[in-house]
Amino acid sequence: MKFTTNSIKSCAARIGLLTEFERIPNSTFETPLVLVYTKGGCVPHLTKDVFKMVTSSPQMLSVSLSSTYLMQETMKDCNINFANFVGMKEYINFLAIHDPAFTTPSGFREPKIIPLWTRCGKYAMTVDKYMDIIETFKPDMYVALCDGDTNIDSSRKRISKSVENSLTFFEQCFIKHSSSEALKSSEILGAIEGGYDKDARTVSINHLKTKPLIGYVIDGLHNNGPHVKDIPAKQIKDIVEHTISLLPTEKLRVSMGCWNPLTVLELVELGVDIFDTSYPYIITENLEALTFLCDRDDCNNIGHIISFTEGRYADDFSPICSHCECLTCKNHTKAYLHHLCNVKELLGKVLLMIHNVHQYLEFFKIIRENIKRGTLDDYKKKINLKFKQNNVIQTEEFTYTKDTKLISL
């Protein structure tokens, strides 16, 4: 696999190109890009046929070991790699340890072990066990075993231990990766740890920079889960900028987690190349639809999301966005979606996931276009306005509800 970029600045939005994948040689991906979030190797709520109707262009999949761990024994017995086992062989896959859409429990640490949380409970993950699984899965790209159990509230002792553990794990993983015949077609990425401590991040980076890696994962900023979408960009900007300023410009930079679009734009401006679609998944689970790309007056969508738990859409026979080209907006109304969500019909989340994934893929397409035109800053201001409008609407609704209760008394 090869990553190229024309960028010469460390902390700047950039266009890159991923090419020469061993398994699918003709695949080419332009960055910044978004990995399509999966659970158990499948896009949540969508069958493979439906997903192909959402997008016909090549995509990269985000796969978490926590949602696929239980498959490993069957895969080993059948002598089949992950892509073929889940029937997604035409997609490049990126394997991470934890599921970005679900909160990773903090603690439960043991020497030389990382806890892996699955739907069947906790499993102790050593380097040997992890690399055995990687050799079975044979992913196109994967992250070395790491201790990313840090966030903004982590102590210096926890941060120091996180860096120490991760560097030890990486060295052992890298030795096994380099000598493995099964992983000759796979790329390993190092995880940069250090929480919100610049000195700790520097130690982690200086060690990993000496290795022949295609890129790095900026880890340890959060513990995954829905709360990540509420982390403001200003909270992470300083530490991410410091981190990226020390990284080689020719290397790939990845940031996993359900960052909201505003934070994504900030990270893109700093030079991050790859994200994932766990944010649209979280929005779908909340019975909401993304509308931050709707900038036409006839759409009547003021904020960045709309919630189908609200009764106002019960008799709204317009699509989510009249200019959206997704299957949901072409064929269904807000009233129908409200009904499906109200009666908890499975089709409700299917239609919302179709729309939300389509919108997010379009979002990254627009980001790349604006970087090429040099108008990313203007686009960021436009998206900021959408989010501010949503906050105004929520404030007005709260005031209205509060006043109504007072009147009823």
Is 329 one of the annotated binding-site residues? yes
Q: Which residue has the tokens 């739907």?
A: 119
Q: What are phi and psi of 322, to 5 degrees?
A: -65, -15
Tokens of 401: 């509800």
CA distance 202 to 71: 37
290 beta partners? 305
Q: Which residue has the tokens 């499906």?
A: 340
Helix, strand, coil share of the chain (percent; to 5): 45, 15, 40
For the beta carbon of residue 80, count every other beta carbon within 10 angstroms.
14
Tokens of 46: 């969508």
Is 294 one of the annotated binding-site residues? no
Q: Which amino acid is at 185?
A: S
Q: What are phi and psi of 30, to 5 degrees?
A: -95, 140
Is 173 one of the annotated binding-site residues? no
Strand order across the 29-31 sheet: 2-5, 16-19, 29-31
Q: Which residues contact 326 (CB under 8 A, 6 or more apart)?
A: 54, 354, 355, 358, 359
Tokens of 273: 């190349």
State how far Cα 202 lies from the chain centre: 24
Q: Which amino acid is at 268?
A: V
Tokens of 145: 């075993």
Q: Which residue has the tokens 């409200």?
A: 338
Reduced to 3 states (helix: H, G, I; strand: E, B; else coil), residue 183 is coil
- Between helix 346-373 and helix 334-342 the angle, nearest 10°, is 130
Reduced to 3 states (helix: H, G, I; strand: E, B; else coil), residue 171 is helix
Is 304 one of the annotated binding-site residues? no
Q: Which residues are annotated as a binding site for Zn(2+)?
A: 324, 326, 329, 355
Q: Which residues are annotated as a binding site?
A: 324, 326, 329, 355
